[in-house]
Amino acid sequence: MKTSTNGLMAIASHEGIVLSRYFDSVGVATIGIGHTKAAGNPDPATFAGSLMIGEAFGLLRHDIMKYEADVNRAVKVPLAQHEFDALVSFHYNTGQIGKASFVKRLNAGDRAGAIKGIMDWRKPPEIIPRRAAERDLFKTGVYPAPFATVYPADKNGRVQWGQGKRVDLRNSLGGPLPVQPIPPPTAAPPAPVVPVPAPVVVPEPVKKPWWKGWI
């Protein structure tokens, strides 16, 4: 299985986007939506330009393939698209799809236990909203709103967290088109109604009453 466009937008909404080079919390040069040198070119350490949002998603589509393969390998039961997308998001964040006990429950047919077990991965506390969103996506198929925050970074690679701007990812990516209803078959137009002229009634001449002659 592959991550859907809705799934990628969900990951971006959790991760945030930085279009120029920055250094993450442990000092690793990064760009876009979590792209590092370990994922391949370009090397953020030597990247001096700025990406477009579509380019950042192009990197994400490439980088996510490793995580998709891991999920496909770890999960032994059929998944709906939204379930797969939720697990890829979880793995992209934690890297632990192969060790998570809730996956064992899922493979054993205990979907309710698996859904509950997703919330075992709740450290640090700041990650709880993301984990809850992944759980809800897995359970209900409802994706988060397709909005992400784009943050600027200064020339030294420090992210300016207070200057982030929310963007609608569909404007940059062209999100999935809604299913259009099939119009009902067009009925043949009714035959035109030809008006029938009313008959012409010629009034009879008014006869003089017989008694008029006596007056």
Provide the annotated active-site residues: 15, 24
Instruction: Calculate the alpha carbon distances from 153 to 52, 88, 149, 198, 204 in Å.
Output: 14, 27, 13, 85, 101
Q: Is the pLDDT of residue 81 over 80?
A: yes
Instruction: Calculate the alpha carbon distances from 83 to 10, 28, 88 in Å.
Output: 13, 30, 9
Average pLDDT taken over every residue of the chain = 86
pLDDT at 199: 53
- Highest average pLDDT, of 137-146, 181-190, 192-201, 206-215, comes from 137-146
pLDDT at 164: 96
Domain locations in the chain as residue ranges: 5-173
pTM of the model: 0.79
Residue scoring higher pLDDT (112 or 186): 112
Phi, psi of 167 (to 5 degrees): -130, 150
pLDDT at 215: 37
pLDDT at 181: 36
What are the tokens at 39? Answer: 């994922």
Distance (Å, rounded) from C-alpha 114 to C-alpha 64? Answer: 23
Please, what's the largest Cα pairwise distance for the chain?
Answer: 130
pLDDT band at 203 (very low <50, low <70, confident <90, very high): low
Q: Is the pLDDT of residue 179 over 60?
A: no
Residue scoring higher pLDDT (77 or 190): 77
At the topology level, CATH places domain 5-173 in Lysozyme (1.10.530)
Amino acid identity, residue 84? F
pLDDT per residue as tens digits for the range 122-177: 999 999 999 999 999 999 999 999 999 999 999 999 999 999 999 999 887 765 43
pLDDT band at 25 (very low <50, low <70, confident <90, very high): confident
Lowest mean pLDDT among 10-19, 23-32, 171-180: 171-180
Q: What would the mean pLDDT of 71-90 be, rounded to a whole number?
A: 98
Q: What would the mean pLDDT of 58-67 be, rounded to a whole number?
A: 96
Instruction: Calculate the alpha carbon distances from 171 to 60, 175, 191 in Å.
Output: 17, 8, 47
| Residue 109 region by backbone torsions, left for phi larger than 0, else alpha for psi between -120 and 50, else beta | left
